[in-house]
Chain A
């Protein structure tokens, strides 16, 4: 492998994993971090990047990004989204198994890996299906999927048919030391709903999803996690009560982690009050109180990751009456800027904000990324923290232009993205 020797000088190095936040030079060679601070003996860079005035952070890790391939290439593709990710400072994308075909065989894992390697932009890791075809009834071949490279098991947004299936799936996953990724949703309580059950659902006459759809599921899942000892991650929590339940479980020593997604920390049920399809999310946008609870969870580390929950759509997916539109937003373009905005508004410290999108998700996925220690993989994002811009859908890198943040002022612009020590993106050069 002929990777260049790179010196990144003059920048503010922020590496939460190693508790570093200061002006330090970074030296890269052989795809790894070679040194931090002083030039190692005999190091002559092939490339020197002047990072004066810029921030250097580990490459971002997006814990949930739907790439829409295979199966939904009219929405996006591995090619389009991996390139977009690199342009947004994201070096690792974790893809849930609800592709078509579902990621329940090593062949599909291989297909995705192959495509991602061809693109050679961001790295893609995948979650395998917890049940065959996500049918909620029959266990998938988890061992084979693990061998093929799956970093965990998930049933995506599909329900498990019974608590017995759930118990068995947990036991079987635990056999192979696999983490299960759970969407806390009691399907009977959420059935038919498309918005948080509350004042706005009542006004608009839209079928609501009660808070209990999430909390009931968290309680049930926690009981089975305790029973089986499986390592579990709760995906996209939206309610403050669920965050409290997770904090309690962590305090009790259960092997559980949790995340939330960007829309839930910025938006709430009221944003959907005009039937705006861009505000259609599943799970739904909740209340201001919930949003505050999620931010508190991010500060305390109960929620150790913040993801984009990237769901790119073709324009038609959002052109229908609210309940008939497809939920979700395209999120790669806003993951870094909206994280920085939390720092701007003093909701999170810079260290915590960076940790939630780098080392936090890396640890959940049990991957050696998100860390700029010597010897680590050289996944790096270099951005200009002083840059300020307005989100214009025509300028978005993702193929999906569906965003509720259109027109928002965004801080931070990515200058360089390095994946495995190679420059995967350089602003202005394409």
Chain B
């Protein structure tokens, strides 16, 4: 079965932003360039541009989130949009209203964009397939599938730190790849931007089946995996993993995969250390590293706003053009 790419309009521009997979090098670069142009907004005395004035954006979160939701909210507000935050708790889903009913009700309020987070992989795609033609969907994380805006802000961070050319970079992603939507999106983004080598480092219980098919080199040993890397991205380890017989203990995980200054010494001297947050200090990362000079973890958060502004404005701007065409 071939379905047209849901995310891309016929003219090749962004329609929805659901996953990195299915986009191309040019679009990714355009997002990064646009994000670059928005970084100045936060430094202005009036931190706003009028690009999305009069638009209504709904943050539709079926899963708890502070960081992602607040940066999306700030991004929307800095674009002058009206923002509605809806946290659909598990309890109201239990009441029997289907996802589609929730969606239809909100659409009836003339919403222009949904920013969606949900625990089921494929939810953003599902919603994008069912929304009215003028509504844009942005994926803010679906199950273990994708978290494309996080990946883009990470690419933005890497570009700021290492320059435009990704082909000479070696990037290692360390930790729970199996359950990570962030890792999946990062891997696609890094490969689309022609990164020299993408590595993943984890014990075998945390590596998904046939992961090589995503275009990565697999390492089980942290020291080997960090050898001469330019960028290391640490992933958050969920405490539940101990219950699921994925790992014996946080202690052993920290001993083997926790990032310390000492383990980092085999990387390039100017290695950049990243983490999508929130960090478990002393589990996946030592505080010395997290707060050290090579860490860009706080910059990532700041760049998150600019990147999300870029994605939102690109997906919506196109609509403005389309609408004006309708009247000519």
Contacts and interface: CB of A to CB of B under 8 A. Distances in A.
Given A316-B98, A319-B98, A319-B100, A205 B209 contact: no
Nearest to A188: B245
A208 B207 CA distance: 12
A323 B211 CA distance: 21
Contacts of B120: 320-324
Interface stretch (B39-47, B139-147, B260-268, B294-302): B139-147
Contact of B122 (A198, A202, A206): A206
A234 B21 CA distance: 39
B125 A203 contact: no
B99 A205 contact: no
B209 A323 contact: no
Contact of A202 (B118, B142, B143, B209): B209
Nearest to A275: B122
Interface in A246-284: 271, 274-276
A321 B126 contact: yes
Interface in B1-59: 1, 3, 21
A149 to B, nearest CB: 38
Contacts of B195: none
A199 interface: yes
A429 B209 CA distance: 53
Interface residues of A, number: 23
Interface residues of B, number: 27
Contacts of A197: 209
Contacts of A322: 120-122, 126
Nearest to B2: A274
Contacts of B121: 204-206, 275, 321-323
Contacts of A320: 98-100, 120, 126
Nearest to B125: A275
Given A274-B3, A319-B98, A321-B122, A203 B209 contact: no
A276 B1 CA distance: 10
Nearest to B62: A321
Contacts of B130: 319
Given A274-B1, A316-B98, A205 B144 contact: yes
Interface string A201-238: 11111111010000000000000000000000000000
Interface in A318-355: 319-324
A205 B98 contact: no
Nearest to A201: B209
B243 interface: no
Nearest to B188: A203
A210 B99 CA distance: 29
A241 to B, nearest CB: 15
Given A316-B98, A323-B122, A203 B214 contact: yes
Interface in B254-277: none
Given A204-B121, A205-B121, 7 more contacts: A203-B213, A208-B208, A320-B126, A321-B125, A322-B120, A322-B122, A324-B120
8 contacts: A199-B209, A202-B208, A202-B210, A208-B208, A274-B3, A275-B122, A316-B98, A321-B121
